[in-house]
Amino acid sequence: MASGLFNLHRTVGGTMGVALTATLMDYREDVHLLILSQRQALYPLGTEVATNAIRGVLIQDGDSGGRSLRRPPESCARS
């Protein structure tokens, strides 16, 4: 008789623990999704600032229009 009651309590406790854990995980998922979506909205601003800074450095060095990315003239090519 006592082992049956112990088994019943163990089963009910395990079931409630799983249900509570699933509920908390579902709630925390919503919280983390909100935090990540707020942080993701800030990335374009940082990218724009970094792109403008790199563009400014390249313009100061004399690269207007991406000339450093093009292939070198044929006279500079190796034989």
pLDDT in tens, the chain (79 residues): 788 888 999 999 999 999 999 999 999 998 898 888 877 766 666 777 888 888 888 888 775 555 555 555 555 555 4
Q: What is the pLDDT of residue 1?
A: 79
Give pTM, 2 decimals: 0.42
Distance, in Å, from the CA atom of 76 to the CA atom of 64, rounded to the nearest integer, reads 20
